[in-house]
Amino acid sequence: MDAIWDHLLLDCTLATLTGDSGYGLIGHGAIGWRDGTIEFAGPMSALQGNPETLAARVESMHGALVTPGLIDCHTHLVFGGDRANEFEMRLNGANYEAIARAGGGILSSVSATRAASEDELFAQSLPRAQALLSDGVTTLEIKSGYGLDLDTELKMLRVARRIGAKLGITVRTTFLGLHALPPEFRERRDDYVSMVCDEWLPVVAQNGLADAVDAFCEGIAFTPDEVQRYFEAARKLGLRVKLHADQLSDLGGATLAASFDGLSADHLECTDEAGVEAMARAGTVAVLLPGSYYALCETRAPPVSAMREHHVPIAIATDLNPGTSPLRSLRLGMSMACTLFRLTPAEALRGATVNAARALGLGDRGVLAVGQRADVVAWGVQKPAELAYWIGGALAARIFAGGSEVHA
């Protein structure tokens, strides 16, 4: 009899992440796929016939943990240069706002990113994506936002797409058009917002370079009214929205994102209960970013208890960026979310899989179930809590994206 699947993994501890909570564990499990789609995920005892003949390739995992591929749903990993000097400035007492107002922060990365050619930017950014892949990430979101001129923003989005093609993983691109005010528009902020809305957004949409748009709604960035104009323009072009919301102050960002049926609102350290309730009604995912919380030595944590109470899906991401979260391990981000925000290990794993998929508008991944994309990771551990428990080190043993084994 001909094999019915391309690949079958036997004797797995499957963390399927199905259901509304927990790991969805199946001991002595098996998972098989064909043409990049999962066709079996369940106990070995449910397999029909001799397992060794069911697939072109059959392997025993000897009890190893197998999960969906991890999903990093918020990164800024395409950028030029670095900002290691700001790390030293913060250690000497400067805070995020002081660094930004002194001309550092985002604008420092803008200069380096504008100066880099597309190939140089690709060469600088690829190793960051490779680090995430080696940590089990098979789907990755990458934002623009360090160009602040149209040519550089488009360059960043093209580089992001090249990274996905090079590594054989999924890259979702987000146009972060309102990230910071360019120096050349310091006295003409309304002109800049109008240009982004009326000129840049249509070009980005026409070129198919963005899957969503994002903005930074904060006192040092853009006001709720400015972000609303931007989101209205994006909605007319059929683009979904995400938002950097309530990181340093509560400007109602969570509520604003929810009012546009936002895919996600991210950061959320200062979000009030009304914002959480609005997200719950809209189905907007809360993306927590422990890397930036840690790097900035913040003390006000996101309102996780309220999110649980109102059943807001919680995702975890690295926020990988040069200034406030140089974090190149999503698994370490999961550990930090447990320690800093008191998530359970199960919540953290769901936050890096099924809920992260939802934050990107992807319904075909994030769980191990029939019909889902075969993004699968076999780990060098047997208990799912170990993914958040171990701090550092390489735990991903085998990584499959769309059914094909991939390597960093």
74 contacts 319 by C-beta, under 8 angstroms: yes
Q: Which residue type, as a one-letter code, is found at position 224?
A: P
**C-alpha–C-alpha distance, residues 260 and 272, integer Å:** 18
Q: What is the pTM of this model?
A: 0.97
Q: Closest Cα to residue 161, out of 194, 186, 191, 125?
A: 125
In Å, the largest CA–CA distance within the chain is: 73
Q: Could you tell me the residue ranges of all domains in the chain?
A: 5-68+367-405, 70-359
pLDDT of residue 98: 83
DSSP 9-37: EEEEEEE---SSSS--EEEEEEEEEETTE
Q: Is the pLDDT of residue 169 over 70?
A: yes
Q: Which residue type, as a one-letter code, is found at position 94?
A: A
Split at pLDDT 50, 70, 90, the class of 1 is low
pLDDT of residue 97: 80
Residue in the structure block whose two tokens are 């084994």: 405
Alpha helix ranges (H) inside 168-197: 189-195
24-67 residue pLDDT tens: 999 999 999 999 999 999 999 999 989 999 999 999 999 999 99
Q: Calculate the dihedral angle through the C-alpha atoms of 308, 312, 316, 317, rounding to the nearest 10 degrees.
A: -150
Please tell me which of 2-11, 45-54, 95-104, 264-273 the model is most confident about, judged by mean pLDDT.
264-273
DSSP code of residue 406: -
57-112 residue pLDDT tens: 999 999 999 999 999 999 999 999 999 888 888 889 988 788 877 778 888 899 99
Tell me which CATH code domain 5-68+367-405 carries: 2.30.40.10
Using only C-alpha atoms, the chain has a radius of gyration, in whole angstroms, of 21
Q: Is the pLDDT of residue 173 over 90?
A: yes
Mean pLDDT of 203-222: 97
Tell me which CATH code domain 70-359 carries: 3.20.20.140
